[in-house]
Structure 1
Amino acid sequence: MTSSIEVLSEDLPLLGEEGKDPLEAVARQLLVEIGEDPEREGLRDTPARYARWWREFTQYDPGSVDTLFETTASGNLVGVSGISVWSLCEHHLLPFSCRFTIGYLPQEKMLGLSKFARIAHQHAHKLQSQEQLSQQIADEVERLTGSPDVAVIGRGEHLCMAMRGIRTPATMTTAVWRGALKDSALRSELIALTSDSNR
């Protein structure tokens, strides 16, 4: 006896078949493999939505991230907190949300305020780990400002832990401390200045 899954599989476009969207084909195949009928009413447009979402997320354009201003406040601690992003766990393809605090000691140039969020989003919209994401944000802030004194603190909640395996919510914290911000006094100052936004 032929199963309904086998019958449906014969109707699926081959991955990469000319004129067919390969991401839609992947979504259709996934639905079949979990025992669903991609032609039923609620799922008929799901492959197209799935393909659209993956492209929107991974091809996200944060806009310009390199707006810099002259400053006379060199050496004064700057902290930006409460930056919320979504990313995708590269191990399970499940989402995680993360809130970031970014601190740095400006030298001759200050980064425009909105650019911190744009930098975080630029690196979040790809397959990631929270550890890598924190490092990449620090790298970009250091590159743009020319300041080696950078800190990035991330607090994330991961569906790959909450929905699978142990199935419990938890908060993961990552911290990158560079240059003068390795100093415990400056660390404490940044944490104290931004603590209300990180709860």
Structure 2
Amino acid sequence: MNKRTLVVLLMGLLIVLSGILWNITQDHSIRKVEMEYEEFKALAEQHFSTRFPDVTFNSANTEFFQEIRQNPAGWSFLVRQLVADPSVGIGIKAGASAAMLDLPPDQLAEFLEFLLALTYSDPNLMSIADSIAFNSFRGALGIRPGMLPDGSIFDHSHRPAVRRVLQHMWEHPAFPQTTREGDNPLTDLFRGR
């Protein structure tokens, strides 16, 4: 082997080894947030609107909202407690739920299923579930499923867990009849358009 080939091989090996080392040092586990529920509730009430559907906080500029979006799986337990708390305003629940949009599709489907279960006791939560599903769809408009593997839940409607929760939403008694009859992604999905 000549010197040039040896140098190229050594550089390639160095690149591969540094990539492996970097991957090993990354924490791929879910970082569960260590915070008491009352503290989380106070922060949510401070940063999120109490009005809905006119949610007034600007999520792009809300540091707390962005912190949740960076690790939605870690915050999910606290967000679920907040959404289930009857003393919390609907707008605050909507803001916290919106931060869950970055969950992987299967986990987002589980979160939507959780919201749907709560709508039997509080039908107002259907507007949050519908909004989460629609915004997930809207965020993926013009994007093919292969471009964003963890994109919209609608991109992954072939997955049994995701399709099941969308079907459940469509058939839920709290799902608005006007939405069911209108032109929307769920209508397209379940009426076979």
TM over 0.5: no
Please identify which structure carries the higher helix content: 2
Please identify which structure carries the higher strand content: 1
TM-score w.r.t. the length of structure 2 is 0.34
Between the two structures, name the one with larger relative contact order (CA 8 Å, sep ≥ 6): 1
Larger radius of gyration: 1
